[in-house]
Amino acid sequence: MSPRFDVTVVGAGPAGSIAALVLARSGARVALVDKATFPRDKACGDLVGPRGVQVLADLGLRVPDAGQGSDLLAVGPSGRRSRLPAFTGRTYPGHGIIVPRLALDHALREAAVQAGAVPVRARITAVEAARDSRVDAVISSDGQRLAGDVIIAADGALSPVARLAGMLDSDTALWGFAIRAYVPAEVPLPLLVLLDASPWRIYPGYGWLFPGEKGQANVGIGVGLGSRRRQAPLRSDLARLVALLGQQGDLNLDAQPGPVMGGWLRMGGTGTPPAAGNVLLAGDAAGLINPLQGEGIGPAMVSARLAAEAVLAGPARAGPAYAEAIEAEFGPYLAGATALQAALLRRPRTTSAVTRLLTAPVVRRAVAGTWSIYWNGLVDGARPRPSAWTARAVQILADRLAGHRLAGQPRAPAEAPGQAPARTP
């Protein structure tokens, strides 16, 4: 007879491992399921933002990071640069950390297993529905039946569990695709590059060059695809970005990236409800990637802890409790940020002009703090200062632009293709 768990967590990335860790530490019987053998790599920018760093600190977790990332350089289409300051907030530190996903995911999974989570290697291909429309178990390709009173799906943007449970509506999701490689370079500050696709027409995404470890920097580029998930051939765009960075002196002119990895993105809390019945979606599976700057790891960790806490507060009401918590934590920002990005990228010429203005010498000094706090989704929890107040005003205006919806209601997809940039978690 197959074992039954209090919670079956599918996906052992940052979201799944954090959820399993919190649950196991509280005495829950937890299965932590993933199709991969760890350590394994993932396409990512390898930068954990302040909220993710705070989750690690709250849980007493140490990961093998390659250093801290504080301020960030945003490069506009003109080539001018704006240094976006990192502020310490009331609820988060004034820095991120740099840690390759190969090391981060392995460390978090090991911590969850040491806390008592049962590791299971399996590819989920079916779900077993109970009579009350709940999911009683997930079924693997080799026939394993993994039953749980609650199912937490942390299995990525394409989330097989969400699809099998009938929760994923691809047509209402905001899709993106990103690729990354490692390149020999010493990078002092994380660099985000806002590009023109053609003169005075913004590229529907951005490039990045982030510090790494052992003399290797992380270089990547991503593009928003709107509500249509389709192939996005980005290798030529990455090659052009590397050449541009070489011309600007950020890379050696002869720098050659290593092997390229890519992955799908789902942004803005779109495409699924956060919960249905006893199935809770965390991280990328819930589409919680920041639609403005693409961060995914921090939101994944935060949502995972919220999911675990909702289960511990009462499994019978975990779904509604989790949906309310996600709305409170992410709703005011994600709805407005998604609408704002869609509005900007429906007007590529105007957006190109705006990004040039934001990095112009006089303007950049005036708006850098506001840009940093709002763009990074750090308004809630920011310490009082003028840039935090103006960032809150921007969030309120963007939220009104979105016509903010109640928890659990789907957002309408934006019509413009390429409305959101790719993730740099």
Task: Check pLDDT > 90 for residue 225.
Answer: no
Q: Is residue 31 part of a domain?
A: yes
Q: Could you read off the pLDDT of 113-150 as tens digits, one per residue?
A: 999 999 999 999 999 997 777 999 999 999 999 999 99
Per-residue tokens: 192: 């985000």
CB 261 within 8 A of CB 42: yes
pLDDT band at 60 (very low <50, low <70, confident <90, very high): very high
Q: Band of the pLDDT at 1, cuts 50, 70, 90?
A: low
The residues with which 47 forms a beta bridge, in sequence order, are: 98
pLDDT value of position 2: 75
Mean pLDDT value across residues 282-293: 96
Give which of 326, 385, 300, 291 is closest to 51, Cα–Cα: 300
> Is residue 130 a part of any domain in this protein?
yes
Q: What does the pLDDT read at residue 342? A: 86
Structural domain includes residue 220: no
pLDDT in the model for residue 111: 98
d(CA 407, CA 354): 32
Q: What percent of the chain has pLDDT over 70?
A: 95
CA distance 147 to 113: 18
- Look at 319 and 228; give whichever has higher pLDDT: 319
Q: What is the pLDDT of residue 21?
A: 98
- The strand pair at 145-153 and 4-10 is best described as parallel
For the cut 90, the answer to whether the pLDDT of residue 345 exceeds it is no
Q: How many domains are there within the chain?
A: 1
pLDDT tier at 343, thresholds 50, 70, 90: confident
Measure the CA–CA gap between 18 and 5, rounded to whole angstroms.
17
Instruction: Flag the least confident range among 28-37, 75-84, 335-344.
Output: 335-344
Q: Residue 420's pLDDT is what?
A: 36
- Segments forming the whole domain that contains residue 298: 4-64+96-169+266-332
The answer to whether residue 403 is domain-embedded is no
pTM passes above 0.85: yes
Give the count of beta carbons closer than 10 Å to the beta carbon of residue 81.
17
In the chain, the percentage of residues whose pLDDT exceeds 90 is 85
Q: What is the DSSP string of 365-398?
A: HHHHHHHHHHHTT--TTPPSSHHHHHHHHHHHHH
Higher pLDDT, 332 or 323: 323
- Is 54 part of any domain? yes
Q: What is the pairing mode between strands 216-226 and 174-184?
A: antiparallel
Q: Is residue 401 part of a domain?
A: no
- CATH number where 323 lies: 3.50.50.60
- Which pLDDT band, with edges at 50, 70 and 90, does 226 fall under? confident
The stretch 37-48 carries a mean pLDDT of 95
Q: How many CB atoms lie within 10 A of CB 27?
A: 10
- Positive or negative, the Cα torsion across 182, 188, 189, 191? negative
Residue 406 domain flag:
no
